């Protein structure tokens, strides 16, 4: 039996804590398939004006926006098995061959453009228009891996999907949203182009630098990958309509949440802008969203016809609060937290795959997931984005299934020193930027040219090292690793396409 009273109390505890801090806040909305809403809110939508955050305060949805794009493509009848190159002109051959469906379910191996640009020294706060970003996509030197082998999060497929609508249907995504979804359902969502576009009453995003709250910034054009703005109440009504199949949404939820598969037939937890997982003794479907200063999550338990939305304009995890409320509503205990176990930095014997294990979390090539004890006793991610199950856990070895791929990772010895073969100047083949690795273990990194950045490398065995690039509240840790031909690769979980050649003393390469 559903326990709305307990769930409302849990939601109130979350929002009251924001109010007590007198800082940025948010809203928690519990809903069912009949559009019943129970809302709590606390804290401020704008610290400067002390504007209260309410359940009707517009907030940036960030990546929760993705499944709206997928729903629009389904309603427009765009074939998901069509190669991207048959839908859009001018794409590099490797990207053009990726089916649209794989570009959307994160198995297409498309490099994430923001992370690739970050690796090239372009801050995510740089103002870049849609044409500028699309032009960059057309210059990408390849893809991360063979499509269909693994699930690796990337926003690129969703940016490209947005371009499919004008190319194939002669309609902008903004107009398609109005005609197909928001008009018929009378929902108050908007789709601003970038952070400079004025959105009335929009909550300001904040992150904490350890002392003070600071405004969040994101300069890139807002695409279908994460650009929608709406309130917690509006998203709850949308999710209710989606579960119920109201109006134009008849049958859409089933298509969005239907299993997606790797090339070998195994099922992936990531669907079309939604994540499906087994939690609290039932199927839980939802997605998170993160932009600098905004953190959101929504979860649905379709078998029970209920769900919860957590919106905030503060840079803090939103998945666990959402799960707390959903567990209370379903009368279930929260997943068990892990006991003490091995922690530290691990890496594959070959290649660039690495993970950093904490007691209750794991970082995978820069991506972060919270860990809990699964029903089989093994540690697993919740997951926010990446499905992870840890098998053998030892002081010196980890065996895990990460993004659908079995991985064996070995502990990085504490005494590991920087491989001297990494020292020198390196120039990227496609874009010409340079990295200089010094003998003292630091690297000069391209950043907001000609400013540059110095990063201290974390040495790894086998001609590898981790850089550490910080910008605002976000941190990026790409792995540099030597190739058999003497070149240098630069990899993160989302972007693995940049390759550097050593520059000799007279400015040439070898």
Residue 8 lies in a domain: no
For residues 348 and 377, state if they share a domain.
yes
Confidence of residue 10 (pLDDT cuts 50, 70, 90): very high
For residues 205 and 290, state if they share a domain.
yes
Share of the chain above pLDDT 90, in %: 93
For residues 224 and 96, state if they share a domain.
yes
What is the C-alpha separation between 69 and 252, in angstroms, rounded?
Answer: 12
Mean pLDDT (the chain, rounded): 95
Mean pLDDT, to the nearest integer, of 267-289? 95
Cβ–Cβ under 8 Å, residues 347 and 358: no
Q: Is the pLDDT of residue 393 over 90?
A: no
For residues 183 and 235, state if they share a domain.
yes
Secondary structure, 3-state, 360-393: CEEEECCEEEEEEECCCCCEEECCCCCCEEEEEE
For residues 359 and 462, state if they share a domain.
no
For residues 315 and 436, state if they share a domain.
no
Residue 21 lies in a domain: no
Structure tokens at 30: 């519990």
Q: Is the pLDDT of residue 457 over 60?
A: yes
Q: How many domains does the structure of the chain reveal?
A: 3
For residues 326 and 397, state if they share a domain.
no
Confidence of residue 509 (pLDDT cuts 50, 70, 90): low
Residue 225 lies in a domain: yes
Most confident option among 85-89, 334-338, 378-382, 384-388: 85-89
Among 283, 303, 330, residue at a domain's last position: 330
Nearest to 189, CA basis, from 305, 102, 72: 72
Cβ–Cβ under 8 Å, residues 436 and 121: no
Residue 121 lies in a domain: no
For residues 318 and 365, state if they share a domain.
no
* pLDDT value of position 193: 87
Structure tokens at 178: 């109005």
Structure tokens at 154: 């990337």
pTM of the model: 0.96
* pLDDT value of position 500: 98
Strands in 422-468 per DSSP E = 424-428, 434-437, 442-445, 453-456, 458-460, 464-466
What distances in angstroms separate CA 331 from CA 116, 298, 424, one per listed residue?
44, 18, 59
Model confidence pLDDT, tens digit, residues 475-498? 999 999 999 999 999 999 999 999
Instruction: Classify the C-alpha dihedral 16-241-166-258 as positive or negative.
Output: positive
Confidence of residue 510 (pLDDT cuts 50, 70, 90): low
Model confidence pLDDT, tens digit, residues 334-370? 999 998 788 999 999 999 999 999 989 999 998 889 9
What is the C-alpha separation between 317 and 335, in angstroms, rounded?
Answer: 16
Residue 114 lies in a domain: no
> What domain range is 317 assigned to?
60-109+144-330
Q: CATH number for the domain including 446?
A: 2.40.128.210
Residue 369 lies in a domain: yes
Cβ–Cβ under 8 Å, residues 104 and 158: yes
Q: CATH number for the domain including 205?
A: 3.40.710.10
Q: Is the pLDDT of residue 31 over 70?
A: yes
As a whole number of Å, the CA-based R_g of the chain is: 23
Model confidence pLDDT, tens digit, residues 183-226? 999 999 999 988 999 999 999 999 999 999 999 999 999 999 99
For residues 96 and 243, state if they share a domain.
yes
Cβ–Cβ under 8 Å, residues 406 and 485: no
Residue 127 lies in a domain: no
Among 411, 440, 460, residue at a domain's last position: 411
Triad 157, 159, 161: Cα angle to 5°: 65
Instruction: Classify the C-alpha dihedral 123-124-128-133 as positive or negative.
Output: positive
Among 277, 305, 330, residue at a domain's last position: 330
Confidence of residue 385 (pLDDT cuts 50, 70, 90): confident
Model confidence pLDDT, tens digit, residues 101-127? 999 999 999 999 999 999 999 999 999
For residues 221 and 80, state if they share a domain.
yes
For residues 406 and 485, state if they share a domain.
no
For residues 394 and 499, state if they share a domain.
no
């Amino acid at each position: 039996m559903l326990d709305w009273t307990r769930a409302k109390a849990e939601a109130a505890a979350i929002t009251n804590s924001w109010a007590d801090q007198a800082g940025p806040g948010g809203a928690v909305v519990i809903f069912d398939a009949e559009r019943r809403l129970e809302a709590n809110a606390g804290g401020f939508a704008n610290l400067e004006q002390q504007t209260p955050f309410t359940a009707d305060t517009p907030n940036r949805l960030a990546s929760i926006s993705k499944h709206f794009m997928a729903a629009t493509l389904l309603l427009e009848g765009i074939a998901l098995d069509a190669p991207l190159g048959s839908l859009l002109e001018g794409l590099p051959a490797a990207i053009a061959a990726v089916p649209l469906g794989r570009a959307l379910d994160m198995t297409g191996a498309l490099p994430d453009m923001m992370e690739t640009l970050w690796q090239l020294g372009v801050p995510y706060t740089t103002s870049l228009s849609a044409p500028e970003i699309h032009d960059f996509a057309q210059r990408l030197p390849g893809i991360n891996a063979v499509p269909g082998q693994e699930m690796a999060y990337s926003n690129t497929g969703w940016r490209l999907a947005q371009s499919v609508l004008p190319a194939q249907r002669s309609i902008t995504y903004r107009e398609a949203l109005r005609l197909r979804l928001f008009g018929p359902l009378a929902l108050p969502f908007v789709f601003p182009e970038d952070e400079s576009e004025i959105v009335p009453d929009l909550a300001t995003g904040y992150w904490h630098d350890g002392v003070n709250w600071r405004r969040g910034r994101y300069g890139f054009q807002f695409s279908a990958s994460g650009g929608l703005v709406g309130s917690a109440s509006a998203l709850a009504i949308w999710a209710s309509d989606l579960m119920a199949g109201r109006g134009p949404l008849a049958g859409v939820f089933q298509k969005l949440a239907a299993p997606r598969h790797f090339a070998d037939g195994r099922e992936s937890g990531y669907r079309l802008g939604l994540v499906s997982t087994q939690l609290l003794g039932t199927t839980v479907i939802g997605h998170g969203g993160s932009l600098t200063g905004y953190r959101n999550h929504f979860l649905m338990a379709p078998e029970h016809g209920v769900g919860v939305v957590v919106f905030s304009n503060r840079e803090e995890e939103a998945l666990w609060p959402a799960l707390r409320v959903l567990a209370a509503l379903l009368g279930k205990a929260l997943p068990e937290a892990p006991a003490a176990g091995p922690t530290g930095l691990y890496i594959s014997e070959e290649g660039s795959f690495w993970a950093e294990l904490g007691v209750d979390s794991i970082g995978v090539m820069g991506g972060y997931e919270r860990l809990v004890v699964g029903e089989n006793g093994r540690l697993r991610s919740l997951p926010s984005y990446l499905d992870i199950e840890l098998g053998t856990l030892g002081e010196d070895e980890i065996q895990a299934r990460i993004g659908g791929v079995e991985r064996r990772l070995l502990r990085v010895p504490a005494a590991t020193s920087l491989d001297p073969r990494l020292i020198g100047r390196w120039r990227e083949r496609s874009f010409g930027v340079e990295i200089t690795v010094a003998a003292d273990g630091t690297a000069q990194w391209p950043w907001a040219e000609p400013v540059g950045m110095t990063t201290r490398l974390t040495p790894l065995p086998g001609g590898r090292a981790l850089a550490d690039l910080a910008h605002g509240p976000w941190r990026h840790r790409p792995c540099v690793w030597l190739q058999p031909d003497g070149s240098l690769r630069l990899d993160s979980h989302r972007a693995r396409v940049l390759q550097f050649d050593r520059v000799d003393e007279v400015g040439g390469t070898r």
